[in-house]
Structure 1
């Protein structure tokens, strides 16, 4: 009976876009992990908290304010910039920039110097389907402040349409427009000399692959953490090389014809794939197949003993060392 009721919920109505939304997108409850603190200099009530980008954009100043959901000291927010980016479909996407302030003392002179190669790079991070920005601003576990320091670059992150305080609704089509808008925002605000590396984790690998396959300017590399070949193959445990089903989502979308398994060979920049051997959510076979389909795949990291959550956590620092090496030595120059 439970199976029948679940099937009715998922497959009725039998519209692929709606089925995908029910299966693939599970954002936390709005306002549960963070709010936006806003204020106007001249307003009497000049310090408020709102839970929507549509409300926050009306104010002069806005700053993400994560709720503390785990033990430990709150991460500093003074070097995090909050902006709202509009997509071509009308969603307002909450976007944050976490600035890297690492200093590098010269071992001989003791003077503080900068890694100029890394300073010219930024990361655009696309997150999994069950989290929002507030989940990645917690004291415990992997947070975006730690990620920026570990990779030694500025990190941009965003909430998909319908996630966090972003407006619109969560859908397959929307996430492609979301990453497109944030990517263009980076180019506009940072200048055409900036080099961009896409990092996608779990479902975040779908928009990362989709956008990379369009050959956007200034893209220099792609990192895929626990990627999947397609929704159909994942849901019904089909072999990653099985024939593509007509209803397969994350293969057909509004910007161009196909994605993930079929779009992988169209990416023309270096691609690093990291996947855990114990991943029960997205089996490692998906990552291995995608690695073989990339034109410019670099040496992958298939990590023994890592599962879907630990592959991208500070329990496995080797993953971040591998990503940093990729960004320092293997990505393209402009």
Structure 2
């Protein structure tokens, strides 16, 4: 913790709630919403995308995208999206996306990814993102994924062994939290972080009682197979986070360390899709 000013040290050790507030400020960057939900019959919605969502398919392919709302235990109404990518999919991915995007911006990626690895994809917007109500916070993150999980289980009748939890960046935080409480088919942690303090202050060696997003302490409780993916040149969450998380996973499979990749370009490397395909269609089946 070298180089901290007196006021920063005071803030850390004399007013403990401060770092988690800092973490919330650092962690959540909801964009201007890039979509709206348009009511169809019943409680189903179709998605209407703005130009900023950069939809890369035809209007017809939008028909495989179904929206609805779920209510969290903390009273927020969150937007959920089910993307039917494959008629023969065994697995559905419950995807918790990164920081500065919403469901609109992710929808093309979901359709492309699911089609290529033969999975359906279910995702949700955190409180305060997209058309979800409430404000982003650590507590809301955990309530949000809980609501998404229960919606996926009850609305679509998908059993836990056929669900793959996938978290990217800040999305690894609720993913680890849920995976530590439920056994699922598998878990993918893409650019995970150990904890908020360890991102903000890389020399932090232990978990302080006021830390936020403490995935490093929850990961040993994850009983499902875990694939960790991290770019070696990640400028936002250092590669050391991925390594440490991998080492603490009881059932980690061979990780994917993408040489030269940063925080936001791992998906552009060929190994990314190859490793996911191998994981989903070979390792999880055998």
- For Structure 1 versus Structure 2, the TM-score category normalised by the shorter chain is 0.7 to 0.9
Give the TM-score, by structure 2 length. 0.87
- Kindly tell me the number of residue pairs found equivalent between the two proteins: 274
CA distance in 2, matches of 1:332, 1:238: 40
CA distance in 2, matches of 1:136, 1:15: 32
Residue number in structure 1 paired with 2:203: 238
Residue number in structure 2 paired with 1:95: 80
1:259-311 per-residue CA deviation (whole Å, 9 max, x = no partner) reads x1111110001000010111111111110111110100000011101111111
**In the alignment, does 2:174 pair up with 1:207?**
yes
Residues 1:64 and 1:322: Cα distance change in structure 2 (over 3 Å): same
**In the alignment, does 2:49 pair up with 1:66?**
yes
CA distance in 2, matches of 1:332, 1:247: 41
Note if contact 1:20-1:171 (Cα within 8 Å) is conserved in structure 2.
Answer: no
Note if contact 1:27-1:130 (Cα within 8 Å) is conserved in structure 2.
Answer: yes
**In the alignment, does 2:266 pair up with 1:300?**
no
CA distance in 2, matches of 1:247, 1:332: 41
1:98-109 to structure 2, matched below 5 A, reads 98-101=83-86
1:176-255 to structure 2, matched below 5 A, reads 176-191=142-157, 193=159, 195-216=162-183, 219-238=184-203, 242-251=205-214
Note if contact 2:77-2:132 (Cα within 8 Å) is conserved in structure 1.
Answer: yes
Most deviating of 319-328 and 279-288: 319-328
Q: Which residue, out of 241, 246, 263, partners 2:218? A: 263
CA distance in 1, matches of 2:250, 2:57: 44
1:129-163 per-residue CA deviation (whole Å, 9 max, x = no partner) reads 1111111135xxxx111011112111001100110
1:39-97 per-residue CA deviation (whole Å, 9 max, x = no partner) reads 67xxxxxxxxxxxxxxxxxx765211111224965563111111111111111110001
Residue number in structure 2 paired with 1:44: none
Unaligned stretches of 5+ in structure 1? Answer: 41-58, 103-113, 252-259
1:92-144 per-residue CA deviation (whole Å, 9 max, x = no partner) reads 11000110236xxxxxxxxxxx4xxxx22100000111111111135xxxx11
Unaligned stretches of 5+ in structure 2? Answer: none
Residue number in structure 1 paired with 2:62: 77
CA distance in 1, matches of 2:43, 2:223: 41
Residue 35 of structure 1: how far off its partner (Å): 1.6
CA distance in 2, matches of 1:279, 1:163: 24
Note if contact 1:98-1:154 (Cα within 8 Å) is conserved in structure 2.
Answer: yes
Partner SS state of residue 78, structure 1: helix
Partner SS state of residue 250, structure 1: coil
CA distance in 1, matches of 2:146, 2:56: 35
Residue number in structure 1 paired with 2:35: 34
Residue number in structure 2 paired with 1:151: 117
| RMSD, matched Cα | 2.6
Residue 37 of structure 1: how far off its partner (Å): 2.1
Q: Which has the larger radius of gyration?
A: 1
CA distance in 1, matches of 2:195, 2:251: 20
